[in-house]
Amino acid sequence: MLLEAVNNYDEALNALSAILGYQQEQNYDPVEELHEPTPPPPDVNALVLQAMQQRPEIQALQDQVFGAEKFSNAEHDLKKPTISALGVAGLAPVRADQITSHYGAVGVNINIPIFNGFYFDARAKTAEIQTNQNRQRLTDERNNIARDVRTYGRIPAGLFSGWP
């Protein structure tokens, strides 16, 4: 058991050295904290709000929901008609004498998506479903974080008094 404990200690030192970016094993001396930790505030709602603001996974999920909403709106906009125009003008230095030296042309294209087999409707519905999934994941993650803060954030008041 002593050999296993020494082996585990060496393994932990190697892992810590690798995590900190050292190629060689470093010896560390554990140091006790000199200041007494402060107890969390009695109001858990403040801790929940702080956790919601500081958790990177919440920020990432909020960005995913925002992006999915924008994409869903864009997919819905595909069903709207589009109008495009193209114009060209120029000067022809080499030409026949009957043709003027200046020329120009304009074209307008109107696209009304009617006969596409409800392709755009299907894409819009898929985007809506993805948006709802992202919203639900965000809600679930917020609920899990709030539960964890409420569960582990309530520490009895006398617990901190016996710490060194």
- Per-residue pLDDT tens for 59-99? 999 999 999 999 999 999 998 999 999 999 999 888 888 88
CA distance 81 to 111: 6
pLDDT at 34: 77
CB count, 10 Å around CB of 43? Answer: 10
| Cα–Cα distance, 12 to 5 (Å, whole number) | 10
154 or 105: which leads in pLDDT:
105
Q: Which residues contact 108 (CB under 8 A, 6 or more apart)?
A: 83, 84, 85
Residue 120, pLDDT > 80, answer: yes
The residue written with tokens 């074209």 in the block is 107
pTM: predicted TM-score of the whole model, two decimal places: 0.57
**45-79 b/e with 16+ CB inside 10 Å = b?**
eebbeebbeeeeebeebbebbeebbebbeebbeeb
